[in-house]
A = this chain, B = another copy of it.
Amino acid sequence: MSDYYIVSDVGGTRMRVAVFEVGSIAPSRHEVISTHSPGQTPLKRLLELIIKIQPTGGKLRAIAVAAPAVLDPRTGFIYDATNVQGWVNIPLADILTSEFNAPALVGNDANLAALGEWRFGAGKGHHDLIYLTVSTGIGGGVIMDDRLLLGSRGLATELGHITVEHEGPVCGCGQRGHLEAVASGPAMVNWVLEQRRNGVDSILPLQPVPTARDISWAAGQGDSLSREALVRTGRYVGRAVADFLHIFNPSIVIIGGGVSFSGPLFWDTLLQTARSSVMTPAYLDGLVITHAALGDDVGLMGAYTLASMTYPVELTEKRLDG
């Protein structure tokens, strides 16, 4: 048995754990369980799943966890993971290190998704990359000059939290008019419901409350309110992408998350808006705007990238020899 890394992607619904042998590009073992279960905390479930999956031979080089959280990536301390019960002010990296006697790293899920797409996905070969996920929330990760942007406390690239309508709806974060408040899945649903209540006709019912996926389906059926909702969302995201081009000047923008698969009406509007909103065409020179490639594996692949770059084989061996 080779030496190996253990990586995990913890979401609000499911947690995944995988083993990657040193130098491999696919996991040798992989488990998925629900994050929450009566009578057992998510932390306990994570620790037990790692114990269950850990190989008996070889040496554990490092553990890395992607978490949907505000956290300090330099210490692996989680301040708050809204959707994971009990993950408030917990020193997750320290806990993992003391349990498994190996270095441990914790990263924000959108940041690690950016790393994963850069190393293994749509962003391979690019040095300056933006990853934007449009889903229940809007998150982001940015790589500039082959390095993940973290900021002074590791809180950088909250790309969903830029103001796009300063009198707009209240965002999940409490501020008003953020991109997430007008262009996330729930924001799109809220807008549709509001139009319906104002008497706009649609094949979508008011009850049960439709999902972003329902809107995408109804748009495919020709429902004009749903079509308008997708165009409107594509325009918001497209304008934000143009702003991000001016801010980061990447060579690739990768868009993931459920809403990114809402179909051509959303996607084409996004592309057209982004391209027509740049201040000079130089920003489009060689630019790729594309879908995320890694799907549900993006968090695991990002965590593996983090672990294997932070504790590469050579470095680990030097440390052991020294």
Contacts and interface: CB of A to CB of B under 8 A. Distances in A.
Contacts of A166: 164-165, 239
Residue of A151, A173, A174, A283 with most chain B CB atoms under a 10 A cut-off: A151
A173 B247 CA distance: 15
A269 to B, nearest CB: 14
A110 to B, nearest CB: 13
Interface range on chain A (Cβ under 8 Å from partner): 35 or more
A175 interface: yes
Contacts of A136: none
8 contacts: A70-B280, A128-B151, A128-B152, A151-B250, A154-B249, A156-B246, A157-B247, A162-B162
B249 A70 contact: no
Interface stretch (A141-149, A209-217, A310-318): A141-149
Nearest to A162: B243
Interface in A235-250: 239-240, 242-243, 246-250
Contact of A153 (B152, B240, B282): B282
Contacts of A174: 279
A32 interface: no
Contacts of A145: 147, 150
B239 A163 contact: yes
A203 interface: no
Nearest to A126: B152
A91 to B, nearest CB: 16
Interface in A114-144: 126-128, 144
A156 B247 contact: yes
A286 interface: yes
Contacts of A61: none
B279 A249 contact: no
Residue of A163, A242, A246, A286 with most chain B CB atoms under a 10 A cut-off: A246
Contacts of A158: 246-247, 279
Contact of A79 (B157, B239, B282): B282
The 8 closest A-B pairs by CB, nearest first: A151-B249, A173-B279, A156-B249, A152-B251, A155-B249, A158-B246, A128-B152, A162-B243
A275 interface: no
Interface in A257-287: 277-280, 282-283, 285-286
